[in-house]
Structure 1
Amino acid sequence: MDNRDQLEKKLDQLAMYMEKMKLAQYIDLLHNPKRLIWVNLIAGIARGFGIAIGFTLLGAIAFLILQRLVGLNLPLVGDFIAELMNYVQESKGLKP
């Protein structure tokens, strides 16, 4: 009987783990291709939007830091960054 009790205890633990993993919902999702495609589409759009926003913010912060470094007039770094910023502004059409 001891083995049977251990087996039942293990089965109960397995059932509890499966409930925590929401395995039934995942299997239902796999059997419904339309819902799976929809969920993945929404997730992809959200990831893409997040990446675009994050990259834009990081780029703006980097640009501000570069502007501040130019203002410090560091010998080598300042000249390089000033040339880089002039190139960016010319490519945007901001400078004649």
Structure 2
Amino acid sequence: MSAVYRLTLGLAREMEKSRIAEYTQLLHSPWRLIWLNIISGIARGVGIALGFTFFAATIIYVLQMLGALNLPIIGDYIADIVRIVQHQLELKTF
């Protein structure tokens, strides 16, 4: 009997660790589930936008530094890319 009790107690602890009760409550309240998904989607979108902006700015900065070195072939190519990006930034689309 004590072996069954220990097994049951172990299963109960594992279920508490997996937070299965909170998951089932979430499934029974669809509006809360929708709200949490909307908030998490917005957070992911903002994070992706900020991350890509930082990444693109870093790449443009590195390209500008490489363009300033006046490398023979690569310098012209990088200068063209920088000019195109700067031209796009100067355009007013609104």
User: How far off its partner does 1:87 sit?
Assistant: 2.1
User: How far off its partner does 1:75 sit?
Assistant: 1.7
* From 35, 39, 47, the counterpart of 2:36: 39
| Structure 1 Cα separation of the partners of residues 29 and 73 of structure 2 | 60
Query: How many equivalent residue pairs?
Result: 91
* From 4, 8, 11, the counterpart of 2:8: 11
Give 5+ residue unaligned stretches, structure 1.
none
Cα RMSD of the aligned pairs, angstroms, is 1.5
SS of residue in 1 equivalent to 2:70: coil
User: How far off its partner does 1:83 sit?
Assistant: 1.2
Percent identity of equivalent pairs = 47
- Per mean C-alpha deviation after superposition, the further-off stretch among 29-38 and 84-93 is 84-93
* From 65, 75, 95, the counterpart of 2:72: 75
User: How far off its partner does 1:82 sit?
Assistant: 0.6
How high is the TM-score relative to the length of structure 2? Answer: 0.86
Runs of 4 or more consecutive aligned structure 1 residues displaced over 4 Å after TM superposition = none
| Structure 2 Cα separation of the partners of residues 20 and 54 of structure 1 | 33
Q: Which residue of 1 aligns with 2:50?
A: 53
- Per mean C-alpha deviation after superposition, the further-off stretch among 76-85 and 39-48 is 76-85
Pair 1:84 & 2:81 matched: yes
Give 5+ residue unaligned stretches, structure 2.
none
Q: Which amino acid aligns with 1:63?
A: I
User: How far off its partner does 1:76 sit?
Assistant: 1.9
